[in-house]
Amino acid sequence: MPELPDVEVFKQYLDATALHQKIESVDARSRRILTGIDASDLDSRLQGHTFEGTRRHGKYLFVELDDSNWLMLHFGMTGSLKYYTHSEDEPRYTQILFHFANGYHLAYVMPRKLGEVQVMGDPDDLIEEKGLGPDVLTDQFDFETFREILGGRRGMIKSRLMDQQIMAGVGNVYSDEILFQAGVHPRRKMGDLKEETLERIFGCLKEVLNVAIAHRAQPEQFPDNYLTRHRGTEHQCPCCGGPVERVKVAGRAGYFCPRCQGNGD
């Protein structure tokens, strides 16, 4: 479930591994993941170049090349990265393999082929093309901005938090956690939220994403009072011990505690 924290961890992982390594070749095995470029063009455009830096916007990762082009990686619902040296360590479902001159390989792994990869001149063009809202983890994304971009919005709070065109980065799992920490019911209507509640949601948004990143987006490592480890019915709320319930919002299954998030004024 690569949402903002997961992608941030991939960014840090790529920064710590594949930067400045000369690319010998690129092996793209699934053309449906590539947008606007075919496998052999990808190979020839990256061959001999190096990754020099990275940038993240919401759930999108951009890798800067030494010729000022950028490689965009989106991880869909199931993507991840793995850097390794021994070929027997190649993960299953590797869709794209970057081979480096130092003998290492970077695998773009994607069991469901619902990701997207492309090469572009400027990440901002992609952000504009997709109509993405501001990245929620930047300093510029403060409470004023949050309140402003939600101003006049209707519908359910969970839907709005997950809308990438309003704000980029929050998906199904983390919207549940943010609302759980804020004590707000996922189906609460925007218009029913008091200023004070909105402020609390904003605080929890920043807090939850930062905590998740600090724990390398591994739910098992999250604090005891986090809901993410207890997603699913048959689970108990970590705070009150009551049953976790399932609710459908924006076509997705959300989980919440009706006692702790009963109304969420």
Partner DNA sequence: AATATTGTTCAGCA
Partner DNA sequence: GTGCTGAACAATAT
**What residues act catalytically?**
2-3, 59, 252
Check binding of 74 to DNA (CB under 7 A).
Answer: yes
Place of tokens 């082009």: 69
How far apart are the C-alpha atoms of 91 and 98, rounded to whole Å? Answer: 13
Q: Total residues at the site for DNA (CB under 7 A)? A: 35
CB closer to DNA out of 21 and 238: 238
Site string for DNA, 188-207 (x = CB under 7 A): --x-----------------
Q: What is the 8-class DSSP label of residue 117?
A: E
Q: Which position among 20, 147, 153, 216 is part of the footprint of DNA (CB under 7 A)?
A: 153
Check binding of 251 to DNA (CB under 7 A).
Answer: yes
Stretch that binds DNA, among 41-49, 70-78, 178-186, 204-212 (CB under 7 A): 70-78
CB atoms within 10 A of CB 234: 7
Nearest approach in angstroms of CB 216 to DNA is: 17
Helix (H) or strand (E) holding 26: strand 23-28
* DSSP per-residue letters across 201-259: HHHHHHHHHHHHHHTTT-GGGS-TT-SGGG-STT-B-TTT-PBPEEEEETTEEEEE-TT
CB closer to DNA out of 3 and 43: 3
Q: End-to-end CA distance of the chain, in Å? A: 29
Please report, as residue ranges, which positions from 118 to 137 form the binding site for DNA (by CB under 7 A). Answer: 130
Nearest approach in angstroms of CB 156 to DNA is: 4
Site string for DNA, 21-60 (x = CB under 7 A): -----------x-------------------------xx-
Check binding of 80 to DNA (CB under 7 A).
Answer: no
* Apex 134 CA angle, 133 and 137, nearest 5: 135
Among residues 19, 72, 18, which one has the least CA distance to residue 45? 72
Using CB under 7 A, list all residues that contact DNA. 1-3, 32, 58-59, 74, 76-78, 93, 111-114, 130, 153-156, 159-160, 164, 171-173, 190, 231, 246, 248-253
